[in-house]
Chains A and B, each alone.
Chain A
Amino acid sequence: NAGVMQNPRHLVRRRGQEARLRCSPMKGHSHVYWYRQLPEEGLKFMVYLQKENIIDESGMPKERFSAEFPKEGPSILRIQQVVRGDSAAYFCASSPRGQGETQYFGPGTRLLVL
């Protein structure tokens, strides 16, 4: 049983470009979470999704960032018009259900904005 899959593992973008980060949850998991880890910092929650629904986006920046988890396919975190401050590791986690369930993390996507 494969774990949480994220791709790409490394992504380089120039300022102003778009970044798309993909996350496939563990088999049987219908809840997905995105976290961002800035250099020398802990992980910060961004967004919590179920299939076709955003449950909690309280950690998402108001502009340029969006997330989706369609009925079919992986969850996508999209960053438009990237800036250097977006350079970070972005981690996806999944759980079978919501409340109190353990979240299992993917290997992360390391975004570098030049």
Chain B
Amino acid sequence: AQSVAQPEDQVNVAEGNPLTVKCTYSVSGNPYLFWYVQYPNRGLQFLLKYITGDNLVKGSYGFEAEFNKSQTSFHLKKPSALVSDSALYFCAVRDTGGGNKLTFGTGTQLKVEL
């Protein structure tokens, strides 16, 4: 069975600084990986995904993520954080067993301070 780990419950960063939110995965076969963001009392918004191709994936709102097969990681990054980026971020991996369900990590709370 596939799994996703987000080792940090919370990440704090100053506005204007680069941010990284970590994600590692475990899956048999080629992974389909996703990042979503959740604002308070809202649904999840899709940021980006990796299916195949270039290891650096660019997504919405200036976010990007780097797929690293040898380290089984898919860290989310942004060169310059904004206060409005403060939210809960989820990494997810798609089922490789023929279905389409997503397995989510436990989430990382990002706090960007002035």
Contacts and interface: CB of A to CB of B under 8 A. Distances in A.
Interface of A: 4, 6, 31, 33, 35, 41-45, 48, 55-56, 58-59, 91, 93, 95, 98-108, 110
Given A56-B101, A103-B100, A107-B42, 14 more contacts: A4-B43, A42-B105, A42-B106, A42-B107, A43-B104, A45-B101, A59-B101, A91-B43, A98-B100, A100-B51, A100-B94, A101-B100, A102-B34, A105-B45
A18 B44 CA distance: 26
A95 B43 contact: no
Given A41-B106, A42-B107, A43-B90, A102 B101 contact: no
A44 B3 CA distance: 12
A103 B99 contact: no
29 contacts: A6-B43, A33-B100, A35-B104, A41-B106, A42-B90, A42-B106, A43-B90, A45-B103, A48-B99, A48-B100, A55-B99, A56-B99, A56-B101, A58-B99, A98-B100, A99-B100, A100-B32, A100-B51, A100-B94, A102-B34, A102-B49, A103-B100, A104-B46, A105-B36, A105-B44, A105-B45, A107-B42, A107-B43, A108-B42
Nearest to A101: B100
